[in-house]
Chain A
């Protein structure tokens, strides 16, 4: 069974850097899970879903072009974790951030429960 859980701050100040961690189980993001990936999607309150970033088992990374300069996604296979950092946070970045599991290129096969991050001074 695949599970994913997001963790991180619920409140950040404008201009700060957000660091979110996705802890997963049921797969490994190593050679034994060839093709797998973990990514992040966000959803501002009352709005639609927006893909942010993906990292694959072979360290291939993909970023939303409009946010590429602010995002970094990394993995720690020893801890079964993926970390997303987003710099220069702004109130418009207030959203629920979801971690997702990808079993094929750009697939979304499983969602985490999500974590709400508010940006306010």
Chain B
């Protein structure tokens, strides 16, 4: 099973700031990594797939990068609605796994 480690566990920032979230895999994923956003009381939502492709309707302030074992989700300028939990997810192995999540909170 591929283990995904997200850092930091919690990120405290203010609206307008830049957010950088990391996801590290225990084995190479090529580019088979996705990012999902989950707001309190809601289902997750796909943001980024295949490391850097934005899903339909996702604002351009969200971007993904990386390949192999190290990946980054960047939010260029935080909006109030961006404060949520973010999960990375791999599909390199058919046994889908998720990271433990990064909680992005308002400072």
Interface residues, chain A, CB within 8 Å of chain B? 39, 41, 48-51, 54, 62, 64-65, 98, 104-114
Contacts and interface: CB of A to CB of B under 8 A. Distances in A.
The CB with the most chain A CB atoms within 10 A, among B87, B91, B101, is that of B91
Contacts of B95: 51, 62, 64-65
A107 B44 contact: no
Contacts of A98: 43-44
Contacts of B89: 49, 108
Interface of B: 1, 32, 34, 36, 43-46, 49, 55, 87, 89, 91, 93-101
A108 B98 CA distance: 11
Given A64-B95, A65-B95, A107 B43 contact: no
Given A48-B99, A65-B95, A112 B46 contact: no
A28 to B, nearest CB: 20
Contacts of A110: 46
A21 to B, nearest CB: 17
B100 A107 contact: no
A113 B43 contact: yes
5 contacts: A51-B95, A62-B95, A98-B43, A108-B34, A110-B46
Nearest to B90: A106
B12 to A, nearest CB: 19
Contact of A51 (B55, B97, B99): B97
